[in-house]
Amino acid sequence: MWIVANWKSNLNIKESIDWIDAVGPKLLRDENLKIVVCPSFEALGEVKKAIEVGGYPIFAGSQDLSPFGEGAFTGEVNAESLKDLVNFSIIGHSERRDKLGETDDLIEEKSKEAQKFSIEPILCIQSAETPIPKNVKLVAYEPVFAIGSGNPDTPENANRVASTVKKIINNKLEVLYGGSVAPSNIKDFVNEPEIDGVLIGKACLVPDEFLKMVDACKD
């Protein structure tokens, strides 16, 4: 079971470390639970350090990465420079598609760059029709209407989409659900047979709420 925390453009460096210090010591090592925290770029180094020093069962992820390698690409953060900091990267989030014009082709390039440096893409799709680049193993179904709206998809429909995507891709694929996941509804999603975890935005910013959601995924 996956729990991915997407902090988006929230939590400065100090707030990020405080979050890790509040959550980390309360997490028990659980082989069946994979927790990934995706801070903003400026906090990644400190977050990674805090996880290592505490020995917490948390993986670090980025929220994006460059479609290019090292070089003259002002403002970009390339996969090679991230490879020692993160194991995962969210790629193709709908906020980037909508607000920054990211296309399926660009997202495919980012996905390739991540894989070149052993960073596992968490590829966001908005429906079963969204193209999924080759070799992607982890997908997050996040319908746009559900993101940040307090109006999640139904667990049954999310399960249906997860099942459809797994059939189309025809390889070993895990599918997460994201969009207004909260302590009150997380169990309904993770109990669905084809849903392998959740990608959480707003509700994961408060440590106690996050810990409630971790607990809900345990049984």
Place of tokens 């991540």: 114
CB-based closest residue to ligand PGA:
201
Q: Among the candidate windows 13-21, 26-34, 35-43, 175-183, which touches ligand PGA by CB under 6 A?
A: 175-183
Instruction: Rule CB under 6 A: choose which of 37, 65, 139, 147 binds ligand PGA.
Output: 147
Contact mark string toward ligand PGA, 4..23, x via CB under 6 A: --x-----------------
User: To which residue do tokens 């895990």 refer?
Assistant: 174
| Least distance in angstroms from the C-beta of 53 to ligand PGA | 27
Shortest distance in whole angstroms from residue 185 CB to ligand PGA: 11
Q: Please tell me whether residue 181 binds ligand PGA under the rule CB under 6 A.
A: yes
Length of the chain: 219
**Distance of closest approach, residue 74 Cβ to ligand PGA, in angstroms:** 27
CB 142 within 8 A of CB 199: yes
CA distance 207 to 215: 12
5, 38 contact by CB (below 8 A): yes
Neighbours of 70 (CB within 10 A): 11
Nearer to ligand PGA, 49 or 212 (CB): 212
Residue 131 binding ligand PGA, by CB under 6 A: no
Please pick, among 142, 174, 192, 194, the residue that the annotation labels catalytic.
142
The question of whether 76 is a catalytic residue gets the answer no
Site string for ligand PGA, 198-217 (x = CB under 6 A): -xxxxx--------------
Tokens of 7: 């902090």
> Is there a catalytic annotation at residue 93?
yes
Classified as helix, coil or strand, 100 is: helix
CA 60 to CA 41: how far, in whole Å? 11
The yes or no reply on residue 92 touching ligand PGA (CB under 6 A) is no
Identify the residue among 66, 111, 115, 180 touching ligand PGA (CB under 6 A). 180
Residue closest to 82 by CA, chosen among 62, 96, 67? 62
Per-residue string for binding with ligand PGA, 41-70, x by CB under 6 A?
Answer: ------------------------------
CA separation for the pair 130, 188 (Å, rounded): 24
* Phi, psi (rounded to 5 degrees) for 149: -100, -15
CA 4, CA 181: separation in Å to the nearest integer?
Answer: 11
Binding site for ligand PGA (CB under 6 A): 6, 142, 147-148, 178-181, 199-203
- Active-site residues, by number, are 93, 142
